[in-house]
């Protein structure tokens, strides 16, 4: 049957499906038979075929960018920033700990030199002893100046000592971080006039007896929170400990902590906490 030039919708659909090979075998055979007879049908089929070919010729375009999603886009709170933040907090707490400890040492030195056998010094020593009893000998070091001050040779030495102590204090800010490295020399400076004034046996450096240097904990991000070493190694005159020894345990225990020691304790604890968390987050991420 030769159809009219204008195709019915049904025929158009069949022709289109035939073009795509989507007619059932029986229907396809029927369509082929009709195409033999119907030139208009053939013409339409050809038009559709060419249209399809033209559309297929459209190039596949490269996307202008990648559409991969970022954690921000999907609202996932990124975990990684926790690590740098904690690392920074550890560093800040460490530096603060070092500065406070340094100030503590300086003020102790000051008070010891200026006020003689005032309470703070033994209290601090007590803390040191309580935290690290094996350093008992080192606590002893602190007494010689006291002893000497008590002996109070001449009042004229005091201003000189204060001046030295102030010098030392003024020197600290220049190297707060490198405190461990810088301080011993300052201590020695302060100690020298003391030795001269006291006329006693000039302290000879005894490295073996010295405190575990403060720098050890501060150099690593996980310093121990114990405020044990509040002083750097000072020259230890061996004969004097005996006299000084009784003073140390005489004072109170932890209750004897001054405000600055509390700050040291808290800062030390903060350093350890931050360091532990930062290590944990680093492993997590």
Partner 1 sequence: MDEAALILEAQRGDLDSFNRLVLAYQTQVYNLAYRIFGDANSAADAAQEAFLAAYRGLKAFRGGSFRSWLLRIVTNICYDELRRRKRRPAASLEAILESEVDLEDDGAGLRTSGPLRPEAAMEQAELSKAIQDCLNRLPDDFRVVVILADVQGYDYAEISAVAALPLGTVKSRLARARLRLRDCLQRFRELLPAAFRLEDEAAP
Where does this chain bind partner 1 (CB under 8 A)? Answer: 9, 12-13, 15-17, 20, 22, 39, 42-48, 50-69, 71, 73-74, 76
Task: Report in angstroms how near the CB of residue 51 gets to partner 1 at its nearest.
Answer: 4
- How many CA atoms within 13 Å lie on the side-chain side of 59? 3
Cβ atoms of 15 and 41 within 8 Å: the answer is: yes
Closest contact distance (angstroms) between CB of 73 and partner 1 is 6
Q: How far is the CB of 4 from partner 1 (least distance, A)?
A: 15
Cα–Cα separations (whole angstroms), residue 112 to 88, 108, 174, 191, 256? 36, 6, 23, 12, 16
As measured in angstroms, the least distance from the Cβ of 44 to partner 1 is 8
Question: Which residue lies nearer to partner 1 by CB, 25 or 155?
Answer: 25
Nearer to partner 1 among residue 54 and residue 250 (C-beta): 54
Closest by CA position to 199, among listed 141, 151, 243: 151
Minimum distance from residue 84 beta carbon to partner 1 (Å): 21
Given a contact cutoff of 8 angstroms between Cβ atoms, the answer to whether 17 and 23 are in contact is: yes
> 74 vs 250, which CB is nearer to partner 1?
74
Alpha helix segments (H runs only) across 199-244: 215-219, 241-244
Burial 35-61 (b: 16+ CB within 10 A, else e): eeebeebeebbeebeeeeeeeeeeeee
Q: Give 10 or 255: the residue with its C-beta nearer to partner 1.
A: 10
* Residue 85 Cβ vs partner 1, minimum distance, rounded to whole Å: 22
Token output for 146 = 């006291």
Q: Tell me whether residue 1 or residue 53 sits nearer to partner 1 (CB atom).
A: 53
Q: With beta carbons less than 8 A apart as the criterion, state whether 135 and 209 touch.
A: no
Rg (C-alpha) for the chain, rounded Å, is: 43
33 exposed, middle or buried (CB, 10 Å; 0-12, 13-18, 19+)?
A: exposed
**Residue corresponding to tokens 């050890």:** 216
Q: Closer to partner 1 at the Cβ: 69 or 250?
A: 69
Q: What tokens were used for 221?
A: 């991000």
Query: How far does Cα 249 stand from its chain's mean position?
Result: 37
Residue (51 or 204) nearer to partner 1, CB: 51
Q: Kindly state the smallest distance separating residue 76's Cβ from partner 1, in Å.
A: 7
- For 252-265, the DSSP string reads -SGGG--HHHHHHH
- 13 vs 167 by CB, closer to partner 1: 13
């Amino acid at each position: 049957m030769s159809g009219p030039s204008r195709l019915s919708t049904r025929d158009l659909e069949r022709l289109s499906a035939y073009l795509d090979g989507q007619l059932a075998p029986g229907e396809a055979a029927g369509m082929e038979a009709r195409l033999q007879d119907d030139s208009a049908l053939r013409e339409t089929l050809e038009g559709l075929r060419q249209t399809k070919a033209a559309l297929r010729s459209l190039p596949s375009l490269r996307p202008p960018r990648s559409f991969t999603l970022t954690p921000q886009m999907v609202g996932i709170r990124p975990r990684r920033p926790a690590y740098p933040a904690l690392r920074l907090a550890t560093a800040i707490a460490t530096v603060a700990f070092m500065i406070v400890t340094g100030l503590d040492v300086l003020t102790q030195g000051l008070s010891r030199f200026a006020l003689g056998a005032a309470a703070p010094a033994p209290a601090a020593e007590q803390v040191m002893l309580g935290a690290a009893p094996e350093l008992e000998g080192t606590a002893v070091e602190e007494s010689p100046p006291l002893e000497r001050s008590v002996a109070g040779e001449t009042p004229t030495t005091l201003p000189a000592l204060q001046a030295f102590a102030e010098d030392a204090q003024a020197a600290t800010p220049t190297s707060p971080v490198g405190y461990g490295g810088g301080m011993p020399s300052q201590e020695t400076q302060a100690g020298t006039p003391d030795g001269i004034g006291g006329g006693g046996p000039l302290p000879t450096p005894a490295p073996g007896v010295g405190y575990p240097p403060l720098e050890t904990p501060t150099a690593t991000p996980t310093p121990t929170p114990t405020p044990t070493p509040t002083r750097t190694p000072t020259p230890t005159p061996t004969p004097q400990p005996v006299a000084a020894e009784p003073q140390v345990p005489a004072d109170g225990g932890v209750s004897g902590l001054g405000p600055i020691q509390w700050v040291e304790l808290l800062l030390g604890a903060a350093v350890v906490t931050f360091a532990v968390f930062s290590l944990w987050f680093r492993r997590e991420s």
